[in-house]
Amino acid sequence: MDYTLNLSVNGRIPINDEGSMRFKMKNAICTIAIVIVSLSLFSCGVIKGKGEAQKIAESLFQERINSGWFDSDRYYSDLFWENTDEKKWSNIKDIVTQALGDLESYSLTSWNVQSKVNTNAISGTIVVLEYETVYKKGIGTETLTIHKPLMGNEFSILGHNFNSKKIQQVIDNGIEQVVSGDSA
């Protein structure tokens, strides 16, 4: 016994003539080809952007392992410095060093790449890289936001976030000193 299954779309049974099927098949193949080519082109740019940004981040980390914070500020963008007070940045680096000691290793744990066209200075490619960082006295998570301007040709660090229980303890201790009047 032969069973035939007729699928209907919007209550109509599809026509199974050979010409109609060839036309549908050509459309389907063209659509699939366009999607594959688009994804390939997009992913090449994404992977390239991630790779370039990762080189910046890993150069920064390797330099910090070898020399501490010496000369690390050169990896940060002009936009970073326009929005960051140098003395506060120096204090942040001192807190990280006091809480965790010297950087010993790093490992990329996640990443995200976006291309944006805005009416401000942040147009371009933005790569967010999250690293687990291992220090002499503990571990942390460092998130780097790395930016390549729309009309630029180099990535640089736009934002740097440190997260660690030991850093938070140092900050909490400082707050306690100020509140209790023990500060000098």
Domains of the chain: 37-180 (3.10.450)
Helix, strand, coil share (%) of the chain residues, nearest 5: 50, 25, 25
Cα gap 19→26, rounded to integer Å: 11
As a residue count, the chain comes to 184
CA angle 17–20–22, rounded 5-degree value: 105
Asked if residues 99 and 166 have their Cβ atoms less than 8 Å apart, the reply is: yes
Structure confidence at residue 17 (pLDDT): 56
Identify the burial level of 122 via C-beta atoms within 10 angstroms of its C-beta, where 0-12 means exposed, 13-18 middle and 19 or more buried: middle
pLDDT in tens, 96-112: 999 999 999 999 999 99
pTM of the model: 0.71
